[in-house]
Amino acid sequence: MFDAIVVGAGLSGSTAARILAEAGYKVLVIERQKHVAGHCHDYKDNNGITVHTYGPHIFHTNNRKVWEFVCRFTEFYFYQHRVLSYVEGRFVPFPINRDTLVEIFGINIATYEVEEFLEKEVKKSKFNVPPRNFRDVVVSQVGERLYELFFKNYTKKQWGREPEELAPDVARRIPVRTNRDGRYFSDKYQGIPAEGYTKMVEKILNHPNIVLMLGIDYFEVRDLFKPKLTVYTGELDKFFDYVYGKLEYRSLKLELRTLEQEFYQPVSVVNYPNDYDWTRVTEYKHFLNEKSERTTICYEYPIEEGEPFYVVMTQDNLVKREKYLKEVEKLEKTGEFLFIGRLAEYKYYNMDQAIEAALEKITKYLTNSLRSD
């Protein structure tokens, strides 16, 4: 018999399963899909290029515990993410830094002058203080002109909503730099698993105390098991049969293309805030510096229905989320359930944050259960 059931073999579920298994728990992991690794699943395509099935994933963290955990299961290829944004007919560095301003405004300013320049842009602009939404955060940092060029339309496309409807936190994901650092992230540890995310997750799950079952829907089998602990990583609203209404998720249509040329674009990801229906084009070979005469690229079109990739941080959803989380709290208090991850906590987690949440919650659970034994 199993001591614990983990629902979902993505990063959150696999991490939880591993920690429980190492503590001596017999763990059954059940996964609805026919593969592990959830939304960071990847595979090698016919061009010999590693493709991220559900869109580009770059690992980055400042958390040493998380970094040490993942490094037990994979080597990392040293990769620092750089993104260009296609604005006014040219490719410019994004997030906004000194070099972006030089390109856009045709000025030549030193890094120490950038702050003052942006302050002037902000002074000319209107926004709420303190910031109430996505737009307020961005405009208060860079002013209306840059907001309109880089953020407004991208955000409308990405979320299918006005930026004013989105919580400030969404905008806080993107830094504004006064220096010339052109990297997307400034975290201490960054990279791409050298053999891919799928292999990494397979190794996390490879433990004598873990049994994995793929292609099984938890909701069809949940009455068959009475484990001591259920770790749930699926959609929060679904678990409670949508009692407080549906939470919204945003999905993506990902269109892969093979091109008979060595390279398509200079970096792995180019953002297209304006003019096109897609938000990003990813050229996968850049991530692991894979050599091929051809290249595989991917267009991302945000859509409403489909695989739930993103939580949608509008007031409505956040209010519903609170109601569901009260139910979660009650269940977690019994010591029989834990809800972990982007979908189960309805939280815009990055990969490292999902792992961190799993490590913390399981460690706390194990400490508490030792105390009560």
Residue (45 or 165) nearer to ligand UPG, CB: 165
Strand pairing report for 27-31 and 4-7:
parallel
> What values do phi and psi take at 3, rounded to 5?
-85, -30
Tell me how far CA of residue 177 lies from CA of 80, 94, 180, 182, 310, in angstroms. Answer: 16, 10, 7, 9, 26
Query: Does residue 81 interact with ligand UPG by CB under 6 A?
Result: yes
Query: Does residue 190 interact with ligand UPG by CB under 6 A?
Result: no
Residue (21 or 252) nearer to ligand UPG, CB: 252
Residue (25 or 154) nearer to ligand UPG, CB: 154
Token pair in block for residue 305: 């229905």
Least spacing, CB of residue 85 vs ligand UPG, in Å: 5
Residue (8 or 273) nearer to ligand UPG, CB: 273
Query: Does residue 70 interact with ligand UPG by CB under 6 A?
Result: no
CA angle at 331 for the pair 329 and 336, rounded to the nearest 5°:
130
Contact 54, 309 (CB under 8 A): yes
Binding segment for ligand UPG among 148-156, 189-197, 203-211, 318-326 (CB under 6 A)?
148-156
Query: Does residue 158 interact with ligand UPG by CB under 6 A?
Result: yes
Token pair in block for residue 300: 């991302």
Count of residues touching ligand UPG (by CB under 6 A): 19
Residue (74 or 230) nearer to ligand UPG, CB: 74
Least spacing, CB of residue 271 vs ligand UPG, in Å: 4
Q: Residues 64, 173, 226, 326: which binds ligand UPG (CB under 6 A)?
A: 173
Query: Does residue 2 interact with ligand UPG by CB under 6 A?
Result: no
3-state secondary structure of 175: coil
H or E, element range at 7: strand 4-7
Tell me how far CA of residue 318 lies from CA of 247, 253, 313, in angstroms. Answer: 9, 25, 6
Least spacing, CB of residue 33 vs ligand UPG, in Å: 20
Give the residue from 180, 187, 41, 186 showing the smallest Cα distance to 103. 180
Name residues contacting ligand UPG, limited to 27-66 (CB under 6 A): 56, 58
Q: Residues 101, 170, 311, 354: which binds ligand UPG (CB under 6 A)?
A: 170
Contact 207, 21 (CB under 8 A): yes
Binding site for ligand UPG (CB under 6 A): 56, 58, 81, 83, 85, 94, 150-151, 154-155, 158, 170, 173-174, 184, 269, 271, 273, 350
